[in-house]
Amino acid sequence: MILPDSLNVWRDTQHVGTLWRGTDGRLMGFEYNDTWRQNGHAISYSLPLSQKAWQPQDLLAHHWFANLLPEEQARAALIKRLGIPDDDFSLLATIGGDCAGALTILPSDHMPPSRTLPSPLDDNYRELPLDRLAQWAGARERYALMNEGALAKRPRLSLAGAQDKIPVRLWNDTLYLPIGIEPSTHILKFAVEGRERVILNELYLNNLARLGGLACPRTTMVYAGRHPYLMVERYDRLGIESGHVERLHQEDLCQAMGVSRNQKYQAYGGPRFGEIVQTVREACRPSAASIQQLLRWQIFNVLVGNSDGHAKNVSLLQDSRGRWQIAPAYDLVGTIVLGYDSDMAFSLGGEFNSMQLLPRDWQAFSEECRFSYPFVKRQIQQMVTMLADLSDSVILKEQLQQAGLEGKGWTRLQQQRQHIQKQCRRAERW
């Protein structure tokens, strides 16, 4: 496969700019289109329109676009399946057609489609066979679709993160693959082999968060054969129930702060939570509602034992006027209960262990974030009251059953429920 040295970045049918490969073959530069600079909005808080271009060696543009890509096992599987070099530009050239947010990244000989289609589906969508879905859910041939058929008709799917995910279009209770560059409406999330409990846990926490008033995408669990997977409604799409799906632009906080995906954890050179708060405070105007949601998200993570609430798991959404606001919470998983690293992605006053927090840690956290300590304590108490009442409730159990919980699923969640109750009791000391 011959890969290009430059790519066009589009928002719908408008040319945003050009992404190019540097002389080293790996780093990327980016330049805004002049017309877009005059009439459009910055694609990132870290890439303002006041500057026309970013050279590869600057790393800012490279970090932003590389943050669109899958990571870890998912990335390795894609590279192997596609038979391309393991670099960010080559991956974007191959799969950048349906990214998180509103941008489409295409070779110069590809144009984005017109948004005046007379029907919700055309030949750029392929019905997803149930037998193939069962294979993917069972961790077999998960990325085989990536090199099926003619090159122009292969899926161009880019979803960031380490978990295996496939974007799909849901229409009339049937799943379709966007095999051209059409937008998806939902994300299918599969369990890593041997970690099937992650699916059940995320279903529980997402529904708990929604029931408790935390903005969170609608999440259901579906079975393909005996293998469960999650179906998550995309919050960066409009018109999901209609014939014409529109993309909403977004960026995660690594992108907004101009840092590498390898710096998403504080312990690995990433930002502190206070720096996250300050970026949101500056980017979102007005910022009060976004800041409060961000704080509630972090308190929720502490109480449920989600140590993977890192800088790529919090995002900003951009409206039609270019204004940013905090996006709904996503990827909520009780990592401590599941046996992953217990250290939080962000420390609270220097303490990374959520089960050893003391009032002085919350006081230091409040000072770092420029919050008043009484305000933080009120937010903690409100979240504690909500979780203590709902986490083991009949209301939540019924909601989970409606969302696809089957059989002994509620019993298998007992450890997670117990962890939340213990954390709520510990919070009485805060």
**Would you please indicate which residues are annotated as catalytic (active-site) residues?**
308
Here the tokens at position 53 are 């271009």
What is the C-alpha to C-alpha distance for residues 354 and 426, in angstroms, rounded to an integer? 10
**In whole angstroms, what is the distance from residue 165 CA to residue 186 CA?**
10
Separation between Cα atoms, residue 419 and residue 341, nearest integer Å: 15
Residue 429: DSSP 8-state: G
- Pull the structure tokens for residue 70: 């899958």
Stated as kind and residue range, the H or E segment containing 384 is: helix 373-390
- Tokens representing 182 are 């059409």
- Residue reference for tokens 């993570």: 301
Q: What HEC string does 307-374 produce?
A: CCCCHHHCEEEECCCCCEEECCCCCCCCHHHHCCCCEEEEEECCEEECCCCCHHHHHHHHHHHCCCHH
Token representation of residue 275: 């720096």
Among 350, 248, 269, 352, which residue's Cα sits nearest to residue 311?
269
Contact 46, 255 (CB under 8 A): yes
DSSP letter at 163?
A: S
